[in-house]
Amino acid sequence: MARDKVPDPLSYLQATDIATRAAELLTQAATQLRPDVRGALTAALARERTERGRAVLKALLDNDEIARRDGVPICQDTGTTWIRLELAAGNYVAGDLQAACDTSCGEASQRAGLRNSLVFDAYGDRRNTQTNTPVFIDLVQTTAEVTCLHVMLKGAGSDNASRIVMLDPDSTDDDIEAAVLAAVREKASMACPPLIIGIGIGGTFDTVGKLSKRALLRPLTAAPSEPRVAALQERLLAAVNATGIGPAALGGDTTALAVQIQTAPCHIAAKPLAINLCCNALRSQTISFSA
C-alpha cells in the first residue's frame, strides 16, 4: 500500500509568524481606514446635498486623519477580531494558530489602547476577558498560488443591526430588496451610517453570514465579475440611499457608501440571505505572502 505523500517542510507556515502578521494588520485596521473606504467617504462628501450630511462626512474624514496621525483607534468600539486565512495550494500551518493569534493580537490590542470588548461566555460567564480575545479564525484551503491573510474588526453596533433571512428558493430581486430595506429602516441608525452593506446569498444558515463578511473584504472599487450581481448591488445601493436616513441618521443623500454581494451554491429548497450592516468605519487589512 502506498504511503500518503508527506508535505514538503518548506510549504509549512508557522502559526507564530502568521500571528505576528495578524497583529500588525489589527493595529493598522484599528487606526486607519482602507484607502477605498476613505475614497468613498470623500466622494460622498462631494455629492451630499444636505448641510448636516456634509458636516458628518467631513467629521468622519477628519476623524480618520487624527487616528492616522496619532495612532489612536478610529472608533471606541474596537470590536471583535476576525481573521480569515486563505491558504495557498500546498501550504500548511504548523503550530497552534488560535493560541498564537490570541497571544499576539491580545498584546497588540493592549499596545494600541483598544477597548476590551469580549466576555468569556455569551450566556454563562459575561465577565470581560480583559485581553480583547479570543480572536475568531476562519481557516480555508484554496487553489491560489499565494496565501492571503485578512483581519477585520467588527463592532457590536453594526453586528447587532445585521440579520439572516431564509428566503424561499423562488424569491426575486424584489424580495431581496424588501429584506435589505427592512433591515436598514429598522436598524441603520444604530449602525453608524453611512453604511457599507455586505450581502451574502447562498450557502447554509451557518455559512451565509461569513459570505456577507467576505463581501466586505472586497475593495469597494472592485465590481463583481457577474453583471447580474453588479446590477443588484447598484439597485440596492440606490434603494438604501433613497430612504433619506443619511449620515449619522440625521437625514441626507448618503445612507450607504456601497453594497457588496458575495454569492455561493445552496440547497435547491433554500435561498439564505445575510444582511451585514457595517458602520462607516469598515476596518480591515489584507496581505498576501508565500511559504
pLDDT tens digits, 4-63: 555 555 589 999 999 999 999 999 999 999 999 999 999 999 999 999 999 999 999 999
CA–CA separation, 145 and 129 (whole Å): 38
What local confidence, expressed as pLDDT, does residue 6 receive? 56
Spell 190-222 as b/e; 16+ CB within 10 A means b: ebbbbbbbbbbbbbeeeebbbbbbbbbbbebee
pLDDT more than 90, % of the chain: 93
Cis check: omega of the bond before 134, within 30 degrees of 0: yes
Query: Span 179-207, mean pLDDT?
Result: 97
pLDDT of residue 179: 98
DSSP state of 7: P
Instruction: Quickly count: other Cβ atoms within 10 Å of residue 269's Cβ.
Output: 7
Alpha-carbon gap, residue 40 to 280, rounded angstroms: 10
pLDDT the model gives residue 121: 97
User: Helix-strand-coil percent breakdown of the chain, rounded to 5?
Assistant: 40, 25, 35
Q: Measure the N-to-C terminal CA separation of the chain; round to a whole number of Å.
A: 31
pTM metric for this prediction: 0.93
